[in-house]
């Protein structure tokens, strides 16, 4: 009996190929290394951590977790709502195992998570679950008004005790602020792009050149 008929995976998603995983990790490390030395970051440190006296070493602050990927549908082995419906979609079956180019358009840091925003193409959006943003509404009410795909991200690290799913909520919060017309306080032009501050320890670096990342649409049984 094929595995897919006996159980559903932990999640479906795009898994970055090994070479590009290294590149993205390096880019993220460079960003964190620079961010915590900026005067602007130090100025807003009390928004970032309660231990206001101390300096923060962001590379230590966030823990990396597993292979880099962009989750499409979290199935929890079938226990998550809509898991079976997603797995049964013809497009999911058709594109399973196919290669994609993801566009990483921004990096963001909050006191909870560090992640990369993934800007999905029309083709990629066909694999995006219709309720992904709606699921976030209890935590991020404004997510209801954001377009499909807004939650798409790659978790690059989480602070101690924080669940990876938080990364998508943190991204949605920043995008909701942008939509309300809050541009963020432009802090500085960095080599990688422009850095803006959105309050409450939330930082967004819009990449000058989006990073194109080869990825395979697949699933993890874990």
215 touches 16 (CB < 8 A): yes
86 is an interface residue for ligand 2AM by CB under 6 A: no
Least Cβ distance, residue 30 to ligand 2AM (angstroms): 21
Tokens of 125: 């959006």
Q: Give the nearer residue to ligand 2AM in terms of CB position, either 187 or 211.
A: 211
Tell me the three state secondary structure of residue 73: strand
Tokens of 168: 């998508």
Q: Give the nearer residue to ligand 2AM in terms of CB position, either 158 or 195.
A: 158
Give the range of 1-9, 90-98, 103-111, 162-170 binding ligand 2AM by CB under 6 A.
162-170
Tell me the three state secondary structure of residue 17: coil
Judged by CB under 6 A, the chain residues 102 through 161 that form the site for ligand 2AM are: 155
Is 69 a known active-site residue? yes
Tokens of 51: 């231990």
**Choice from 74, 100, 128, 217 touching ligand 2AM (CB under 6 A):** 74
Q: What is the CA radius of gyration of the chain?
A: 18
**H-assigned helices in 70-210:** 83-88, 90-95, 122-125, 166-179
Judged by CB under 6 A, the chain residues 2 through 21 that form the site for ligand 2AM are: 10-11
Judged by CB under 6 A, the chain residues 54 through 73 that form the site for ligand 2AM are: 71
Reading phi first (left if > 0) and then psi (alpha if -120 to 50, else beta), residue 189 is in beta
**Residues binding ligand 2AM (CB under 6 A):** 10-11, 71, 74, 155, 164-165, 167-168
Q: Which residues carry out catalysis? A: 69, 153
């Amino acid at each position: 009996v094929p595995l897919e008929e006996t159980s559903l995976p932990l999640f479906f998603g795009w898994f970055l190929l090994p070479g590009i995983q290294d590149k993205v990790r390096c880019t993220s490390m460079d960003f964190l290394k620079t961010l915590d030395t900026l005067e602007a970051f130090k100025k807003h440190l009390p928004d970032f951590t309660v231990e206001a006296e101390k300096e923060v070493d962001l590379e230590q602050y966030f823990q990396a977790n597993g292979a880099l990927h962009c989750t499409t549908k979290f199935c929890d082995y079938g226990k998550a709502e809509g898991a079976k419906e997603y797995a049964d979609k013809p497009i999911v079956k058709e594109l399973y195992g196919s290669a994609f180019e993801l566009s990483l358009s921004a990096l963001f840091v909050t006191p909870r998570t560090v992640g990369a925003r993934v800007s999905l193409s029309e083709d990629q959006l066909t694999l995006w679950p219709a309720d992904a943003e709606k699921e976030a509404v209890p935590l991020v009410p404004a997510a209801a008004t954001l377009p499909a795909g807004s939650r798409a991200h790659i978790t690059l690290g989480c602070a101690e005790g924080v669940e990876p799913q938080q990364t998508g909520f943190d991204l949605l919060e920043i995008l909701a602020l942008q939509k309300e017309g809050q541009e963020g306080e432009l802090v500085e032009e960095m080599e990688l792009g422009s850095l803006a501050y959105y309050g409450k320890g939330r930082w967004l670096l819009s990449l000058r050149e989006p990073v194109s990342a080869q990825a395979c649409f697949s699933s993890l049984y874990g």
